[in-house]
Structure formats: structure tokens, C-alpha cells
Amino acid sequence: MSKSAKLVVNAIGRAVPTEVNGKPAIPYKGVGKHKPDGRKLGPRIASCVDFPEDGNKLVSSLREALIKSGLKDGMTISTHHHFRNGDLIAVQIFDIAKELGLKNLVWFPSASFECHAPLTKYLEDGTIHHIEGSMNGQLGRFTSEGKMKGVGVLRSHGGRYQAVQDGEVEIDIAVIAAPTADFFGNANGVDGPAACGLLGFALADSQYADKVIVVTDNLVTFPCVPWQIQGNYVDYVVKVEQVGIPSKIVSGTTEITKSPDRLLLAEMTARFCEHAGIIRDGFSFQAGAGGTALSIGIYFAEMLRAKGMKARFARGGSNKYLVNMLEEGLVDYILDGQTFDLEGVKSMRENPNHVNTSPFTSYNYHGKGNFASMLDVVILGATEVDVNFNANVVTHSDGLLLHGIGGWQNCLFAKCTILPVPLFRDRIPVIRDEVTTLCGPGELIDVIVTERGIAINPLRTDLIDRVKDSGLPVKTIRQLKAEAEKICGVPAKQKFEKEIVAVVKWVDGTVLDTVYKVSS
């Protein structure tokens, strides 16, 4: 297919293609504007008579399971990322595909990590045509350099669920790495030597994929409870030596920062929430991945303790700090989408108030509501923000794809969205005239907290009012930009090639922005 398809300007002023990887694509229309009607995609009908009556779906190897599932050229294979950087299965799938001489597969992970860097060789030799999910680290660089055959598609966690429901992505084979499972395919993430907490990101895959393979290293006698994944969706079960490395769940973006500058940002953010009246008895919050955002919990905990208050619920990614708050009684429930460390895994296993959730409950655009918009405040990271509060979370100012969207876009629907970001990183100003890649519309982004001042979106006159006598350093976003440029200099505009390497989808499946090949 042509990588320089016809472009149109979408509702937020970005030029986007109307066709991606040979399929038609709808340009972004605005927040809440795209509401398709009709019916969701139905999964294929299965009949229980085609499956063993004794419930035993074990096959001898992943290779056999893939062959039995009918793996062939051009298929879409999905995996989940609950092991984060400790995933051992995704690369194996494509090793097998390569041995079988297959071509043009599509990888549909819920996120990618540095451990997936070996897949670049299969992108190079054509085993994999393109990735729909996230392109991090080396995979991001590879994509940005225009080396991937197809166009990458970046989606949020909620957007991934929507894409499956809308039939935008039809999963041929879902491979679900499960820390514990029985021979029927019931599976969970809380038990076993490789416990990773939950399996929510694989839920849609289990329900909608044509074929579902559960891979586990901890096979238990039926029934495996709790069954986070129901065996009734599963075709084959494979027992392997090791399914994932739980110690590698913790990655740089899921650890609390030790940097005094970032801790100050977190503290300022918490103080903003206090003055804005967000922190009150029964409030709810979510902190995204990224050391600064995760550190907010420390300050929220201090404030709640001092005021004798507690939060009703916090949305995870959970880590040990959130777990401590739960155990100390500073929050009633953790509604968790993924566990960021082993304390989170343990808590989910043992504490009934630490509840596992999925993108369906938390983020889904085609659900009858979701949790994300109910949150009082969400604190997220960003690589860039522009003077209209639009933000970027996937590329850096040098244009390279480095991160996935994760739940970031979905979280923007919270009652208050705060991005704590340094004013500049090693001379690179974070506030720009225009973001390199637009991932979130400014109308949903309320507050930018930097170490040198706080900018509130002019649309949020209520917040501006509430903090006006707080003594917090409130400035306009243009003042902050000028301050950074006084220190760093005015950056030149980044140059790109014409070639499209990826598109960024909005939560409703429309195309929000285009990622271009970096200039060599």
C-alpha cells in the first residue's frame, strides 16, 4: 500500500490519511462527535460439541497450538502486556511464524516494551507487516525511520477495545500468557510463580478472537479460580516452562521518582488539588504511569492523613504506594487495570478491596458509561504540550516514537486532568507552539503544572477562580513557554519526510494525527 495516502484536515486541524493499511479511516470529528450505529462485531459462533467433553484442551506446544489455530499469512495475532518488560511469549510466537515461513502478519499487542525489540528482525524480513498497538523504544525508532512495511496504528487501551468491537481489527489468533490456568482454559493473573495481577487487557481478545490460546507455566486442576479469563472462550491450552518474568513488571515508567525536581512537581500538583477543592472526603483519583505522576500518591496520602479524610476509590496502575494507602485506610477501593509492581500483585490476590478491572469497565467508548469520566482527578505524563493545551505522549520533540498511548487518552475524560511536566528537559522545552504529535485535544486538558508555574486552561474558569488566592504560581501557558525559551532559546521547527509511518487514533476510532518518518 502507499504510505503517502490522500490527506484531509480533521476537526483539530491535523492532516490525516483517509486510508490506513488499505482500509478506510475516518478523520477525527471532535470530542464525542463520532457515534457509529448498527451492531458491534459478533465473534464467530462456536459449538461445544466441537470441543473435548472432558474439558481437556491441552496441546503439546505453542507451535502446535498456532498450527491447529490455522496460522497463515496476513493474520492478526494479539498479545497482552501484563508482564510489561517481562513478557516471554510474544517473541516466541513470531519465532514460530518465521520457522513456518509466514509473511505479512499483523501484531496487535495491548502495549510493547523493550523486551520486544527482537521483533525488529521480523519487521525487517516481512514476517510482520505492521504493528497495531504501541511502538516503544527500539520498535518506535524502527518505525519512525520508515522501516516498517505497513503503517503503525497507535491506540489507547479503550480504543483497542473499541477497535475490536467495531471490527476495525479482527483478531485471528489471541495468545494469552496466563500465570495460572486449568486445562479448560480458565485463567488468572493473581496466582502462580509468574503472577502479574490480572489479565484485563486480554479480555476483549478472549471474547472476540477467532481462536484463543492460553499459555501457562502453572497448570492447576480444574477449576482455576478466580477465572479472570473464562475457559469457554478458549480453544487450546499450552503448558510451558516459563510464561513471564514478574520481576520485570517494574519498568522505569512505573517507579516513583527519586529526582528532587520531579518530586517538587508532584508536590505542587497535590497542593493545586488541595487548593482547587479536589481533595475532600470521598473523592477519587488516578495517577498514570511515569515517575512524577505516580509520586502524587505520596502527597495525597499525607494530605488525607492530616485532614482525617479518605478517598472512595483510586484507579490503578497500582504500585506499593497505592497499596499502602489502601491498607492504611486512606482509600476504600483500588479499581485496578494493571499492577505496576509485585506489591500490587500481592494486594490484588489477597485484598478483596483491590479489584481487577478491564478496559471495558474503565475506558470503553462503546460501553454504557465508563469509570474514567467519573474520576475527580487524573494525573498524567506528557512529552509535549502546546499553547492550546493539546498534548503529545507518543513522540519526543525529535519526532521519534517512544511511548504508547496506554490509558492516557481515556483518562482525559476525568473531571480534572492535570499534566505535571518539567518546563524543559535537557534544553528541550516541553511547551510548544504546536505539538509534534497530537494525542489529546486541549479542551480535555485542564492544568499544566511545571516547576516554574502552573497554567490553567482558560476554559476552566471554575478552577482559575478556586486557586486565585492560593499563593500558587499561576501563569498563562504562553508565559510558561516564554520562560522556557528565555532559558533554552527558541527551538527550530522539526523537519519530517512526507512518508507516513503511523497514525494516532482517538478513543472513538477516528484518526487524530499522523506520525511522519523522521528526516535522516
Partner 1 sequence: MSNAGFAGNKGDKDRSDCFVGLELASSGGIRLSVKSKVKSLYGGTIEKLCHEVLAFFDVNNAIVTVEDKGALPFVMAARLEAAIKRVIRTEKEFLPELLKENQYETARDRHRFSRLYLPGNTPSLMINAGIHKPEAVILDLEDAVSVDKKNEARFLVRNTLRALDFMGAERMVRINQLPAGLNDLDCIIPHHVNVVLIPKCEDAHQIHEVNNHILAIYSRMKVRPAVWLMPIVESALGIVNVFEIARAADNVIAVAIGLEDYTADLGVGRTPEGTESLFARSMLVNACKAAGVQPIDSVFSDVGDMEGLRKNVLQSKALGFEGMGCIHPRQIKIIQDGFAPGDQEIDKAKRIVMAFMEATRKGLGVVSLGTKMIDAPVVKRAQRTIDLAISLGTLNKNWKDTFNAEEQA
Where on the chain is the footprint of partner 1 (CB under 8 A)? 260-261, 263-264, 397-399, 425-428, 451-452, 487-489, 491-492, 494-495, 519
Please give the grid coordinates belonging to residue 165.
468491537
Q: Do you know the residue count of the chain? A: 520
CB of residue 297 vs partner 1: minimum separation in angstroms?
Answer: 18
Kindly tell me which of 27 and 381 has the beta carbon lying closer to partner 1.
Answer: 381
Enter the DSSP assignment of 402. Answer: -
Closest CB 358 distance from partner 1, rounded Å: 39
Q: What are the two backbone dihedrals, phi and then psi, of residue 350, each rounded to the nearest 5 degrees?
A: -105, -25
> Quick one: 324 or 351, whose CB is closer to partner 1?
324
Nearer to partner 1, 385 or 507 (CB): 385
Residue (98 or 452) nearer to partner 1, CB: 452
- For residue 383 the three cell numbers come to 512529552
Quote the cell numbers at residue 56. Answer: 481437556
Residue 248 or 452: which CB sits closer to partner 1?
A: 452
Report d(CA 363, CA 373) in Å as an integer.
9
Name the minimum Å distance from CB 424 to partner 1. Answer: 9
Give the residue from 110, 339, 340 showing the smallest Cα distance to 202. 110
Give Cα 229 to chain centroid, integer Å.
20
Residue 219, CB-side half-sphere exposure with 13 Å CA sphere = 14
Nearer CB in complex with partner 1: 359/420: 420
Q: Minimum distance between the CB of residue 496 and partner 1, rounded to whole angstroms? A: 10
Q: What is the DSSP letter of 44?
A: P
CB 487, min distance to partner 1, A: 6
What kind and span of H or E run contains 514? strand 511-518
CB of 500 to partner 1, least distance (A): 19
- Among residues 340, 382, 337, the alpha carbon closest in space to that of 158 is found at 337
267 C-beta neighbours (distance < 10 Å), count: 17
> Least distance (Å) from partner 1 to the CB of residue 38?
45
Which of 167/489 has CB closer to partner 1? Answer: 489
Q: What are phi and psi of 487, to 5 degrees?
A: -80, -45
Assigned C-alpha cell, 68:
491447529
The residue whose grid cell reads 448498527 is 38
Residues 6+ apart with CB under 8 A from 240: 62, 89, 215, 216, 217
